Structures are given as C-alpha cells and as structure tokens.
Structure 1
Amino acid sequence: MGFRDRGVEIKTPEQIEGMRAAGLVVGRTLELLRASVRPGITTGELDAIAEDHIRSSGATPSFKGYHGFPGSICASVNDEVVHGIPGERVLAEGDVVSIDCGAITLDDSGQGWHGDAAITVAVGTVPAEVTELMRVTEEAMWRGIAAARLGGRVTDISHAVESHVRSQGDYGILEDYVGHGIGSAMHQPPNVPNYGRPGRGPKLVRGLALAVEPMITLGSKETVVLDDDWTVLSEDGSWSAHFEHTFTLTPAGAWVLTALDGGEEMLGRLGVPYGGA
C-alpha cells in the first residue's frame, strides 16, 4: 500500500482482494435488506437485520460509531437524500428508502478494509416519476464507472454521471455530497463529484479504489440538514434517489467490488471490459 497525489491510497492486488471480501459482505447485506423492505417495517428493524448479517459474516459495520453515527446503515426516506438515522420510522406503501451500507473485514495481517454501497428501494408501488428517478440515478452510477480507464482522470467519472442525468430530464444533482476514495478507511481522497468537466483530478491508476454515488432529486440540488446533524433533506421537499458502488480498475477493466457478480453483467451491457477475478 502506498500514497500519492495528496494522500490518495494505492493498494496492492492482495489488498484489493481484501476489499472484495468487504464488498461482498456489503453486497449480500443490501440484497437481504432489499428483500426485507415492506410496508410496516421500521428503519430500525432494517438496521438490526443489517448489523446481524454483517457481524455474522465475520465483518464489522463501518458506519456504527463513525463520528458518532448510531446506526449500521443510513436509511433515508423520500425527501431525505442521505445519512438518515435508522429508528422508529415505519415505512409505508409508496415510500422510497435509500439504504447505505458499509462493512470492514480484516486481512491476515489484521488490517481492515472497507466496502461501501447503497441502493434505493421502492416500498410497494411508487409514482412513475419516482421509478424513473431511481432508474436514472442507478444508470448514471454505472455509466460513471464505465467511463473510468487506467490513465484517465477522476472527473471522467463525474462528467459521465452528469451527462447521463442531464440527458434524461430536469433533475437536481447534489454538489455538496460526493463519492470518495476508499480502502483502509471508509472516506479517503480523492473526492468523486457527480458533475464537472472530464480530464481533471488525480489519475486513475491500478490499486485506486473509489466509491461512486450519485444523489439525485426530482427538484432542487440544494439541501438542508436536520437538527440531528446527520439527515440531509432536499431543500424543496422533492424526493430523491441514491445508488453507490465501490470499484477499482485492473489491466483487464473495471471490477465492482460491492457487486455480487463484480459488475460483469452491467458493464457488459455498456460495452465495457470486465476486470474482475
């Protein structure tokens, strides 16, 4: 493991394998939570399911205790964009919930490696515009990952995310909350904005791992934070969607460490080489 470009962490192939172990725990936890979402369940119950699954998988929740955050997941409902604290809120028919999850696994040396991913899930039937928002947001994430190439720059990802969202309609792209580097810590340099010109920022090199996470609203990009100092809402009350994956680049192509299939299916649909093991 080395550092370059103002603290950007570069992992060895073996260390990336450690991140894949964490990523699989996150991916499986999110699939369990997706299947658990239903009208009548509380966000606190989802949090308990997540923590139990992460710990029973031999991992530790990344979020719990992080700067005092009380949950193992972030559960953000409707106009809550990100960082919602799980608790007594009951999900109702027609809601959408963004579930953000992180896990830490230890390698043979005792070093911890992080995985971080998020999904947005409809609770029963939701309005067509919300279904479309979810589709646009998730596809923008994949198009951002697909734009990454060894030797390219971080904002190649940013530009691809923004270009896709802009091509699909009049949506709000959050600017104050961005993707990030990840590895031996959950949040590392460099930032990965969801907007901007291509060809800027640190170079995309082997051993760099990034979390790409577009946060998109049906209205304004402006946000407010609740008195809990965590929950981020859209300023105009518009509903939002949030998707995230952790990925890296190998000489063969992109490898999505938090996708159960490594991203092979979605990258193939986009005509991008798959770089996973």
Structure 2
Amino acid sequence: MCRWLAYSGSPILLESILYKPQHSLIDQSLHARLGPHTTNGDGFGVGWYGEGDEPALYKCVDPVWNDRNLKELSRQIRSRLMFAHIRASTGTPVQQTNCHPFRHGKWLWMHNGQIAGFAGVKRELVMAVDPALYGSIEGSSDTEVFFYLALTFGLAENPPAAVQRAVGFIERTCRAQGIEHPMRMSVAASDGESLWAFRYSSEGVPPSLFYSTDVQALREQHPEIEVFRTLSDESRMVVSEPLGELAGVWNEVPPSSWGRIREGQDQVGPFIPAAH
C-alpha cells in the first residue's frame, strides 16, 4: 500500500513535517510500521497551496529517501495546506503519472488502499467518468480513476456524498464481477479551503488513519515543546501512521467515517457507500 500525510493550519515549512518528526514520512518510506509493506519506494509526490489559483505539485518515481531536490525544496516551501504521499504500487506501473497526489483544478486527492480486481473492471469504471473530465486522466492507477469518479459524482458540491456515491458504484461494479471485497481506502482531498479525510473498507478493516489532537490541548499537555506554541489552534494533521510516540498527540480515525477540517468548522460523519 502507501503512506501519506495532510496538514492544514498555520503556514509551516514542508521540511518540518516531512523530515523533522521522529517517525517522519521519509522514515516511513523505509520503516513503515502499520502498513502491509515496510518499504514504500515506488515514487512519491507533494502538493501544496501557495500563491496561485491551483495547488503546486512535485512528483518523482525515485524513492523519496533518495531525492536531494525534495530536501532542498522543503527548506523553502511554506504553506498552510500540504499533502505528501509515498507509494507502494499495488500493480500499476511505477511512473510519474501514477504518483499521488492527483490534481484537477483546485482539488488535490491521494489514497492508501486499492480497488480489488481493478484490471478486470477498469473499463467499466473509466466509462462512467464524465466525458468532460475523461481527457484529464493521465495515468493508469485505480486511485486516479477513483478521483475522477468522485469528481463526476459531485466532489466540488458535496465531498462526502460524492465519495460515498463513487465507492457505492465501484462496489456494485466489482461485485457484479464476483469481487466480494472491492474497496480498502484512506483518502485525503482538498479544495484549498477544507481538508477532507475518508476511512472505509468493504470488509470492515480499513487502512490505518490518525488525526492530531487539538493544539490547545497539546500546549497544556506538553508545554516544553516549542512547535506547539507557534501553531494556531486550528492546525491539524491527518496521517497514515503517527509521526512519533509522544503521548496524547495522535487519535485513530474511526472505521467507516469521514472528517472535515476547516477553520472553525471541523466535522465528523459516518461513511456509508451510496446508490448511484
């Protein structure tokens, strides 16, 4: 599978979340603890919202621990909303167009998990993508098709409903081909204003996913840690696995749930695949 993190809050340098934590995403690329693969070396990508109308992307097919350019850039890139992803392919080729995050307009999307039996249902899934969006699909991965199905089903208008409709459609399509448990997923999506996270599995055991504790509470629990004093109360992270072992920092996202992080408007709800 893969490992990923998403951050929303006070503008910070990318290196502060990619390189500096005890169990950083760079460390997880070689020593992941909670995923099925210890090594996640099939490419990587980062996405961030800056000055433009659309988020910026940097992707590479090399293992992330080997990329000197990322280390240099991360010392200078500062953003209030960032995505980072390290890939362990589930079968599609190791190529730049298959690296996460995926972008369409102002949206970013990344995923840990898989659509089971994807090769056998790919044509039917792709044909359900809105024709106006179809030409924007660049790669061959199940994640990108999933993203464009969510866009087709209304991601811009109502993200939870759109992702639930996309998953419902994928499950029905796969089960019609005899695939009993089609979906395992932890997903992050953003339009630059809100950060959305989704955790679900067709068989009830989804990939791991955690969110960070309220910063105000962390200041009280750990007054000795300087970084907690510099972050706004609205700052949050969502991660595939904790970036360290400091007590009280990380909380598991419940299975079959979605969450939204936005200034003053955090929300949580149940994730139930919907009929198309």
For the aligned pair, the TM-score class normalised by the smaller chain equals 0.3 to 0.5
Q: TM-score normalized by structure 1?
A: 0.36
Q: TM-score normalized by structure 2?
A: 0.36
